[in-house]
C-alpha cells in the first residue's frame, strides 16, 4: 500500500516533470557471500538447491555458481545427499516432502557449514484459476485470480508464481491469512501493476496462456519473501533497504523452503 | 532535586521582593486597526526596564516610583511613546497604529516580526513574519510557513517539496506542533507537499530548537508554536486568493465592535482537476485534494477576562478509481480563558481537543475492507504568569492530557473475503507540572531556570506483553479498564543564561532535557499518513534527549544586520526503529515484537546573518552538522548516519522592494544528499535480481541545490479594495534533483543492472491572485 501512495506521488508529479535518467553511482562492492536457494516440494523431482555467490553491482547478472558443495536434506531419522547434475545445481529425484514434516538442510562448502529447517505445511486445495479485469491508474489490467478455501484457525501462508506463455513474471506474491482466516479467497495477483517500465505488449492479453503455481509455505519463508519484496528489490520507495530475513544459519543469503505445490493454467479470454 | 530547586527559587525571589515604593504598570497591547492583541511587542520604560508582551498581548513592569519615558513598539506598527508618571499601580492599554497608514513614502518592508533580544536568555528560537511567508517563493505558489522555516539554520526539509522538518538531528515526529495549543499530529497535506497551516489565518509562528521553556514538553527536538489570528474586532474584512492549485477565502469582523470578533478561513485545493487536464489516462482518474477550515471567536468579558474559541478541521483525500481510497485529517479545538488577577498575575486556562485520523478503503475483487485509525486527546492546561518584580518573572502551571489511540481496525461487509479485526485501543494519561523563573540578575546577566515534571501513565484496558530479545512474545498480561500498567516519571530541567557584553553583542548558553511518550513508527525512507503513532508501553520506553547549546549574537552596523552563531550537542535515548522485515501493517497487538531500540547523537554549528530592514532584506544561513544512530540489530550495532544527516545545509533568501508596485524575491538552497542505503552487491533469487546490503545509510543521495524566484505585483489600490498578483518559479535553473534512486535490470540489456534517478520538480511556474476587501 505504501507503494501505491508513492506511486501516485510519482505519477502525479510526473505531470510536472518525469525526469528519469540512468546515473553512475560509485558502489564499493563487498566480500563475496554464498547464496543458497533450497526447495523441497510435495512432488517427486521437486528437490533442488542452487548455490551461487554474490557479485558486484557493475558485473553482469549471470550467477557465479558454486560447485563441489556437500548438500544434505533430511528429517531427524534419515537424510539424502543431493547430486550436482549441472554446476551449482544440486538435486535429488527421490526426495518428496510430506506435509507436517520438518526437514533439515545442511550445506558444506569448503570449511563452512550452513544449516536451515523448514516445515511443509498442509496442502490447501487450489480450486480454480480465472482472469478478472480491473482499471488501475486508468489502464485495464487482466489479473490472474485464484480461488481457494482458507482453513479456519491455523495460520496459513501462501506464495504464487505466474508464468505467461511460459515466461516467469519477475514479481513476488506472498500472502498470509491474517485478515482472511477461514474464508473463501479469490486472491488477485496484480501482475505488472505498479511495476516500472512495463510496456503494453508485455501485459497479459487475450489469448495468452497463463499458468499459476500455488505454494503453501511456512512462516519463516513468508517472512523471507515479504521482507525480500519490501526491502531488497532495489526499489528506493519502500522500506529501508536491507537483506531479507533468512532462515539459513551460518551466514549465507537465501532460504530453505519446503512447500506444497499445485498448478493450473488458463487461456486468457 | 526538585525540592531543592523550588527552594532556591523561593529564596531568590525572597531577596528581591520586599523593596519599597514600587509600582506596577500593566496592560494589553493591541492593533488599533484590527483589535488583534500583539505578541512580543517591546515595552520599555527607559533602557533598564524593558519587557515584552506575552502571547495574549499582556505586559507588566514593576518599577520604583518615578517618571519614565514609556515606549511601546512592534514591527509594522508605529511606536507609541508617552511619559509615564508612576505614583501608583497603573493600567496602560495601548492600541498601536499600523505603520503603513502613517507613512506616505514607500513602505520599507521589514522581514521579521521581532528582532531577537540580546539580553533574554531564550536561545535557539526563531520567528518568521507574515511578510517572509508572503514573499518567499514556494512550490506551486502555495504560501507555507513551514517551507520558510526550513530556510533557517538547524531546520531541514524532509525532502523535495516536503513540509516535514528535521530539527537539529531530530526525526519528523520529534517536533511538537501546536496550533492554538492543540497538538497537530500530522501537519502535512497532499502527501507532504503542503503544510496544514493556512498562512492567511496565522498570526504568530515561533520555533524553538533549543532552550524550550518549561511550559512545553512531549517531543524531543523542537516546538513549533503557531497562533491563529483572533479576528478583526473593528471592521469586516474579506480576503482571498486563487492560485494554481488552491483557492482560499478569509472572512473576519467584529461581533460587537471592539469587544468581540470572529474569523473564518477556508482553503480547498483542486489538484485533482489539474490531474484531469492530463491526457494520460493513468493520471486523470486519480483523486487528490485537501481542504481545511480555521475558525475563531473571541470575547472581551470586561476588563479582566477574555475568552477565545478556536478550531481547525482539515481533510485530505487520495483515490485510485474505486479501488483504493485514503482519507486523513486533523481536527482541533481550543477553548481559552485569560484572566488578569491583578497587575502582576496573569492566568490562562485552556481546554483542548485534538484528533488525527486516517481511513483506508480497499475494494479489490472479493477483498473489500476499510482500515481506520485515530489518535485523540483531551487536554487541560492551566498556566500562571507572575510578574513578581523587575528582576523576576515566574511562570508555572500544569497540564493533563488523556490520549486514546486506535491502532488500525479492519471492518468489512459480509460479502468480503476479509474478516473484521478490532484491535485493542491504547489509553494513557499524560500529566505535567512546570515552573520557570527568569531572573534578571544584573543589567548584563539573566538566567532562566525551570523544571518540568512529567508523569506518563499507561492505562488499561488491554493486553501487555513480555518479549524476548528476538521479539517473541513470552507472556501476555491483561489489565482491567482504568488499571495503571506503568507510570513513567521524568524530571526535565530547563536552564538558560545570557550575558550581554554591550548593546550590540551577547552570549547565551542553555541546557534542556525533553521526553517523548508518543512515538511515530515510520519505516524510515519517507513518511506517509498511515505511519503508526504508538504510546510508550512497558517495553517502549520514553524517548529522552539532552541538549547543550551555546550561542553568540551580534548586531552589526547599528542593528542593520544581525549575526547569530549557535552550536549544539544533543544525545537521544530510547530511539525506535523497525526490525528488518517488520510487517508494518500487521494486525498484531504486540507491535513491540517488530521494534528495536537504541540511541542517537547530533551536533552541529549554525550561522545566520540577517538583514531585517531596508529595500533589500533577507538572510544567509549555514548549518554544519552530524546526526547518528546506534541500534543493536541494525548495521551490526555500529553507529550509522541517520537518514536526515546532511553535512552542509545552506540557504540564501533575498527580498527586494523595487518600488511601490513590485517586490522581487529569490532563494537558493544547497545541501548534502541524505544518507541512504545502496547495494554492495547482487545475486539471483527466484530468477530475479536481488540486492545485497552490508551497511545502513553508508551512501549519499546526490547533493541537492535549487533556485526559486518570485515577484509580487501590487495592483491598483482603491479605498476598500486592494489586490496583488504573485508569480513564482520553483527550481528556476531546472536542476534535476534526485527524488529516488532505483536499482534495476537494464531495459536494454537484462543481463546488466543500472541505477535510475527520478527527479520530480523542474521549472515549476505558478501565478496566484490575492485580494482584500474591507
User: Is residue B87 assigned to a domain?
Assistant: yes
From the list A22, A25, A139, which residue is nearest B281 (CB)? A139
- Residues of A with CB below 8 A from B586's CB? 178
**Same-domain check for residues A152 and A216:** yes
Q: Provide the pLDDT for residue B420.
A: 86
* pLDDT tens track for B525-567: 566 777 888 999 999 999 999 999 999 999 988 888 999 999 9
- Determine, yes or no, domain membership for A40: yes
- The CATH number assigned to the domain holding B483 equals 2.40.170.20
- Please indicate, yes or no, whether residues B94 and B232 belong to a single structural domain of this protein: no
How many angstroms separate the CA atoms of A169 and A186, rounded? Answer: 20
Residues A164 and A216 in one domain: yes
DSSP for B487-522, written as a single string: EEEEEEEEEEEEEEEETTEEEEEEEEEEEE-EEEE-
Burial of A61 (0-12, 13-18, 19+ CB in 10 A): middle
Contact B514, B217 (CB under 8 A): yes
Cell of A265: 493454467
B78 lies in which domain range? Answer: 2-102
Q: What is the DSSP annotation of B425-442? A: PEEEEEEEEEEEEEEE-S
Classify residue B181: in a domain, yes or no.
no
Same domain as A237, residue A134: yes
Q: Give burial (CB, 10 Å; 0-12/13-18/19+) of B60.
A: buried
CB contact under 8 A, A57 and B271: no
**Residue whose C-alpha is closest to residue B739's, from B159, B164, B195, B193:** B159
What pLDDT, in 10s, does the model give residues B615-655?
A: 898 999 999 999 999 999 899 899 999 988 999 999 999 99
Terminal C-alpha separation, chain A: 29
**For residue B483, what pLDDT band results from cuts at 50, 70 and 90?**
very high
B684 contacts in chain A (CB < 8 Å): 35, 52, 61, 63
- B324 contacts on A by Cβ (under 8 Å): 1, 4
CATH number of the domain residue B40 falls in: 2.60.40.1120
Both B89 and B234 in a single domain?
A: no
Final residue before a domain boundary, out of B87, B102, B117: B102
pLDDT tens, residue by residue, B359-369 = 988 888 888 88
Determine the pLDDT at residue B386. 94
Report how far residue B677's alpha carbon sits from residue A27's, in angstroms, rounded to the nearest whole number.
11
Task: Tell me the pairing of strands B90-91 and B22-31.
Answer: parallel
Cross-chain CB nearest to A9 (options B191, B693, B696): B191
Tracing cell 531577537 back to the chain, one arrives at: B116
A167 and A88 within one domain: no
pLDDT above 50 (res B2): no
Indicate left, alpha or beta for B174 from its phi (over 0: left) and psi (-120 to 50: alpha): alpha
Q: Do B684 and A35 touch (CB under 8 A)?
A: yes
Residue of B526, B701, B758, B761 to mutate for A, most A C-beta atoms under 10 A: B758
In a domain, B308, yes or no: yes
Is the same domain home to B468 and B612?
yes
Model confidence band, residue B108 (pLDDT cutoffs 50, 70, 90):
very low
Same domain? For A96 and A206 the reply is no
pLDDT tens per residue, range B368-413: 888 889 999 999 999 999 998 888 999 999 999 999 999 888 888 8
**Average model confidence (pLDDT) across chain B:** 87
Unique residue bearing C-alpha cell 517427486: A44
As a whole number, mean pLDDT of residues B80-85 equals 89
Task: State mean pLDDT over B178-190.
Answer: 89
| Beta-bridge partners for B611 | B561, B618
- Residue ending a domain, among B78, B102, B126, is B102
State the residue range of the domain holding A237: 124-245+261-267
CATH number of the domain where residue A221 is located: 2.60.40
- Out of A201-210, B2-11, B281-290, give the one with best mean pLDDT: A201-210
Cα of A139 to nearest chain B Cα, Å: 6
B205 occurs within a structural domain: no
ipTM of the complex: 0.94
For residues A145 and A126, give the distance between their C-alpha atoms in angstroms, rounded to a whole number.
11
Domain boundary among A100, A119, A138: A119
Task: Assess if residue A195 is contained within a domain.
Answer: yes
User: Which three cell numbers mark A170?
Assistant: 519477475
- pLDDT per residue as tens digits for the range B223-252: 999 999 888 888 899 999 998 888 999 999
> How close is the nearest chain A Cα to the Cα of B528, in Å?
8
Q: Cα distance from B497 to chain A (closest Cα, Å)?
A: 41
Q: Which of A119, A146, A177 is the last residue of a domain?
A: A119
Is B457 among the domain residues? yes
Say yes or no: A169 and A212 in one domain. Answer: yes
Among candidates B275, B418, B750 on the partner chain, residue whose Cβ is nearest the Cβ of A15: B275
pLDDT tens track for A192-249: 876 666 677 778 999 999 999 999 999 999 999 999 988 888 775 566 888 999 999 9
B444 inside domain = yes
Give which of B525, B527, B515 is closest to B575, Cα–Cα: B515
Q: How close B363 comes to chain A (CA, Å)?
A: 11
- Regarding whether A191 and A130 lie in a shared domain, the answer is yes
Domain count, chain A: 2
pLDDT at B284: 61
The verdict on a CB contact (< 8 Å) between B763 and A17 is: yes
Residue of A97 and B764 predicted with greater confidence: A97
Best probe of the B interface among A234, A239, A246, by most B CBs < 10 A, is: A234
Say if residue A233 is in the same domain as residue A167: yes
Report the range of poorest mean pLDDT among B103-117, B467-481, B663-677, B738-752.
Answer: B103-117
pLDDT > 90 in chain B, percent: 49
Answer yes or no: is A13 within a domain: no
Both B427 and B564 in a single domain? yes
Q: What is the pLDDT of residue A195?
A: 64
- A245 interaction partners in chain B (CB closer than 8 Å): 580-581
- Domain membership of residue B341 (yes or no) is yes
Residue that finishes a domain, picked among B56, B74, B102: B102
**B364 and A235: CB-CB below 8 Å?**
no
Closest-CA distance, A75 to chain B, in angstroms, reads 25
Helices (H), B25-97: none
Give residue B29's Cα distance to chain centre.
25
Are B596 and B632 a contacting pair, CB within 8 Å? yes
Considering only the beta carbons, identify the residue of B419, B678, B740 that sits closest to A27: B678
Beta strands in B155-245 (DSSP E): 155-157, 165-167, 175-179, 182-183, 188-189, 194-195, 202-208, 222-228, 237-242
Distance between alpha carbon B531 and the CA centroid of its chain, in Å?
A: 19
3-state secondary structure of B173: helix
Q: Do A130 and A114 fall within a single domain?
A: no
Residues A232 and A135 in one domain: yes
**B324 has a pLDDT exceeding 90:** no
Query: For residue B437, what pLDDT band results from cuts at 50, 70 and 90?
Result: very high
A254 within some domain: no
Is A64 domain-assigned? yes
Q: Closest Cα partner for B202 from B296, B114, B272?
A: B296
Chain A residue with CA closest to B734: the answer is A17
- Which chain B residues contact residue A164 at CB under 8 A? none
* pLDDT for the residue A202: 78
Q: Are residues A56 and A42 in the same domain?
A: yes
* Contacts with B753 from chain A: Cβ below 8 Å: 57, 61, 234
DSSP at B421: B
Q: Which residues of B touch A11 (CB under 8 A)?
A: 282-283, 286
Are A170 and A199 in the same domain? yes
Q: Establish whether the linkage from the previous residue to B541 is cis, with ω within 30° of 0.
A: no
Per the structure, how many domains does chain B have? 2
Using left for φ > 0, alpha for ψ between -120 and 50, and beta otherwise, residue A192 falls in left
Residues of A in contact with B528 (CB under 8 A): 2, 5-6
Q: Is the pLDDT of residue B18 over 80?
A: no
Contact A228 B685 (CB under 8 A): yes
Of B460 and B490, more confident: B490
pLDDT value for B281: 57
Q: Which of A99, A119, A139 is at the close of a domain?
A: A119
Query: C-alpha cell of B245?
Result: 492549485
The verdict on a CB contact (< 8 Å) between A136 and B323 is: yes
- Whether residue B525 and residue A237 make contact (CB cut-off 8 A), yes or no, is yes
CB atoms within 10 A of CB B649: 25
Chain B residues whose CB is inside 8 A of the A22 CB are 754-757
Q: Is residue B159 part of a domain?
A: no
Mean pLDDT of A25-34: 90
Amino acid at each position: 500500500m505504501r507503494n501505491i501512495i508513492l506511486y501516485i506521488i510519482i505519477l502525479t508529479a510526473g505531470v510536472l516533470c518525469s525526469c528519469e535518467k540512468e546515473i553512475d553511482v560509485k558502489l564499493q562492492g563487498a566480500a563475496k557471500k554464498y547464496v543458497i536457494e533450497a526447495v523441497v516440494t510435495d512432488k517427486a523431482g521437486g528437490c533442488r538447491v542452487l548455490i551461487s555467490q554474490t557479485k558486484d553491482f557493475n558485473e553482469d547478472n549471470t550467477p557465479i555458481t558454486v560447485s563441489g558443495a556437500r548438500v544434505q536434506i533430511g528429517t531427524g531419522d534419515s537424510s539424502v545427499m543431493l547430486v550436482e547434475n549441472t554446476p551449482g545445481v544440486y538435486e535429488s529425484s527421490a526426495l518428496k516432502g510430506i506435509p507436517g514434516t520438518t526437514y533439515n538442510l545442511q550445506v558444506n562448502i569448503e570449511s563452512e557449514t550452513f544449516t536451515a529447517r523448514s516445515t511443509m505445511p498442509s496442502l490447501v486445495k487450489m480450486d480454480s484459476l480465472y482472469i478478472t479485469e480491473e482499471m488501475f491508474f486508468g489502464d485495464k489490467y487482466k489479473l490472474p485470480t485464484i480461488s481457494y478455501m482458507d482453513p479456519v484457525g491455523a495460520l496459513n501462508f501462501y506464495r504464487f508464481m505466474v508464468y505467461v506463455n511460459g515466461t516467469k513474471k519477475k514479481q513476488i506474491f506472498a500472502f498470509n491469512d491474517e485478515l482472511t482466516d477461514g474464508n473463501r479467497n479469490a486472491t488477485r495477483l496484480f501482475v505488472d501493476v505498479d511495476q516500472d517500465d512495463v510496456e503494453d505488449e508485455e501485459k497479459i492479453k487475450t489469448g495468452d496462456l497463463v499458468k499459476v503455481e500455488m505454494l503453501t509455505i511456512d512462516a519463516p519463508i513468508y517472512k523471507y519473501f515479504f521482507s525480500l519484496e519490501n526491502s531488497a528489490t532495489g526499489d528506493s520507495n519502500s522500506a529501508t533497504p536491507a537483506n531479507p530475513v533468512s532462515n539459513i544459519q551460518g551466514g549465507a543469503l537465501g532460504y530453505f523452503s519446503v512447500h506444497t505445490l499445485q498448478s493450473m493454467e488458463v487461456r486468457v479470454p | 532535586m526538585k525540592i531543592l530547586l523550588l527552594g532556591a527559587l523561593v529564596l531568590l525571589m525572597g531577596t528581591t521582593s520586599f523593596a519599597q515604593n514600587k509600582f506596577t504598570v500593566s496592560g494589553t497591547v493591541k492593533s488599533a486597526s484590527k483589535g488583534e492583541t500583539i505578541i512580543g511587542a517591546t515595552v520599555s520604560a527607559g533602557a533598564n526596564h524593558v519587557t515584552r508582551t506575552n502571547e495574549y498581548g499582556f505586559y507588566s513592569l514593576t518599577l520604583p516610583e518615578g517618571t519614565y519615558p514609556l515606549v511601546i513598539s512592534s514591527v509594522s506598527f508605529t511606536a507609541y511613546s508617552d511619559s509615564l508618571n508612576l505614583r501608583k499601580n497603573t493600567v496602560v492599554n495601548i492600541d498601536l497604529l499600523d505603520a503603513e497608514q502613517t507613512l506616505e513614502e514607500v513602505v520599507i518592508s521589514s522581514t521579521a516580526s521581532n528582532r531577537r533580544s540580546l539580553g533574554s536568555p531564550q536561545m535557539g528560537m526563531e520567528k518568521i513574519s507574515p511578510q517572509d511567508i508572503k514573499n518567499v517563493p514556494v512550490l506551486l505558489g502555495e504560501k507555507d510557513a513551514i517551507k520558510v522555516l526550513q530556510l533557517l539554520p538547524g531546520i531541514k526539509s524532509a525532502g523535495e517539496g516536503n513540509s516535514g522538518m528535521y530539527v537539529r538531528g531530530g526525526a519528523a515526529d520529534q517536533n511538537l506542533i501546536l496550533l492554538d495549543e492543540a497538538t497537530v499530529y500530522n501537519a502535512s497535506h497532499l502527501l507532504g507537499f503542503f503544510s496544514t497551516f493556512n498562512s492567511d489565518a496565522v498570526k504568530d509562528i515561533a520555533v524553538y530548537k533549543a532552550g524550550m521553556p518549561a511550559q512545553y514538553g512531549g517531543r524531543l527536538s523542537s516546538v513549533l508554536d503557531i497562533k491563529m489570528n483572533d479576528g478583526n474586532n473593528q471592521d469586516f474584512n474579506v480576503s482571498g486568493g486563487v492560485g494554481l492549485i488552491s483557492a482560499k477565502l478569509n472572512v473576519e469582523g467584529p461581533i460587537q465592535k471592539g469587544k468581540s470578533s470572529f474569523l473564518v478561513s477556508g482553503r480547498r485545493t483542486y489538484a485533482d482537476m489539474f490531474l484531469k487536464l492530463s491526457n494520460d489516462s493513468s493520471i486523470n482518474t486519480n483523486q487528490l485534494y485537501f481542504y481545511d477550515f480555521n475558525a475563531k471567536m473571541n470575547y472581551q468579558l470586561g476588563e479582566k477576562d477574555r475568552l477565545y474559541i478556536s478550531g481547525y478541521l482539515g481533510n485530505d483525500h487520495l483515490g485510485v478509481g474505486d479501488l483504493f481510497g485514503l482519507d486523513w485529517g486533523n481536527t482541533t479545538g481550543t477553548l481559552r480563558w485569560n484572566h488578569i488577577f491583578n497587575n502582576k498575575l496573569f492566568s490562562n486556562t485552556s481546554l483542548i481537543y485534538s484528533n488525527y485520523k486516517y481511513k483506508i478503503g480497499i475494494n479489490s475483487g472479493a477483498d473489500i475492507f476499510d482500515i481506520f485509525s485515530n489518535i485523540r486527546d483531551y487536554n487541560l492546561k492551566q498556566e500562571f504568569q507572575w510578574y513578581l518584580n523587575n528582576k523576576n518573572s515566574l511562570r508555572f502551571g500544569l497540564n493533563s492530557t488523556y490520549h486514546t489511540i486506535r491502532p488500525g481496525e479492519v471492518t468489512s461487509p459480509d460479502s468480503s473475503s476479509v474478516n473484521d479485526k478490532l484491535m485493542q485501543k491504547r489509553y494513557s494519561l499524560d500529566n505535567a507540572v512546570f515552573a520557570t523563573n527568569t531572573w534578571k540578575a544584573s543589567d548584563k546577566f539573566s538566567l532562566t531556570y525551570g523544571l518540568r515534571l512529567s508523569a506518563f501513565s499507561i492505562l488499561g484496558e488491554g493486553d501487555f506483553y513480555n518479549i524476548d530479545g528476538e521479539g517473541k512474545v513470552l507472556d501476555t498480561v491483561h489489565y482491567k479498564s482504568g488499571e495503571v500498567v506503568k507510570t513513567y516519571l521524568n524530571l526535565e530541567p530547563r536552564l538558560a543564561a545570557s550575558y550581554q557584553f554591550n548593546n550590540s553583542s551577547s552570549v547565551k548558553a542553555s541546557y534542556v532535557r525533553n521526553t517523548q511518550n508518543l512515538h511515530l513508527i515510520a519505516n524510515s525512507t519517507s513518511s506517509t499518513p498511515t505511519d503508526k503513532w504508538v504510546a510508550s508501553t512497558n517495553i517502549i520506553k520514553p524517548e529522552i534527549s539532552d541538549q547543550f547549546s551555546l550561542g553568540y549574537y551580534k548586531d552589526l552596523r547599528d542593528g542593520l544586520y544581525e549575526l547569530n552563531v549557535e552550536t549544539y550537542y544533543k544525545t537521544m535515548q530510547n530511539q525506535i526503529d523497525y526490525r528488518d522485515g517488520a510487517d508494518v501493517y500487521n494486525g498484531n497487538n504486540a507491535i513491540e515484537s517488530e521494534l528495536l531500540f537504541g540511541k542517537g547523537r547530533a551536533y552541529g554549528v549554525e550561522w545566520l546573518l540577517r538583514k531585517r530592514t531596508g529595500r533589500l532584506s533577507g538572510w544567509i544561513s549555514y548549518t554544519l552538522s552530524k546526526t547518528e544512530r546506534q541500534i543493536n540489530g541494525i548495521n551490526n550495532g555500529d553507529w550509522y548516519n541517520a537518514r536526515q544527516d546532511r553535512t552542509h545545509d545552506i540557504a540564501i533568501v533575498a527580498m527586494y522592494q523595487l518600488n511601490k508596485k513590485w517586490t522581487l524575491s529569490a532563494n537558493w538552497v544547497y545541501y548534502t544528499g541524505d544518507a541512504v542505503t545502496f547495494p554492495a552487491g547482487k545475486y539471483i533469487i527466484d530468477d530475479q535480481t536481488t540486492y545485497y546490503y552490508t551497511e545502513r545509510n553508508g551512501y549519499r543521495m546526490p547533493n541537492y541545490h535549487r533556485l526559486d524566484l518570485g515577484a509580487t505585483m501590487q495592483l491598483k489600490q482603491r479605498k476598500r479594495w486592494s489586490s496583488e498578483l504573485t508569480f513564482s518559479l520553483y527550481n528556476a535553473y531546472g536542476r534535476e534533483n534526485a527524488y529516488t534512486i532505483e536499482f534495476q535490470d537494464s531495459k536494454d540489456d537484462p543481463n546488466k543492472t543500472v541505477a535510475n534517478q527520478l527527479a520530480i520538480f523542474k521549472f515549476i511556474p505558478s501565478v496566484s491572485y490575492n485580494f482584500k476587501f474591507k
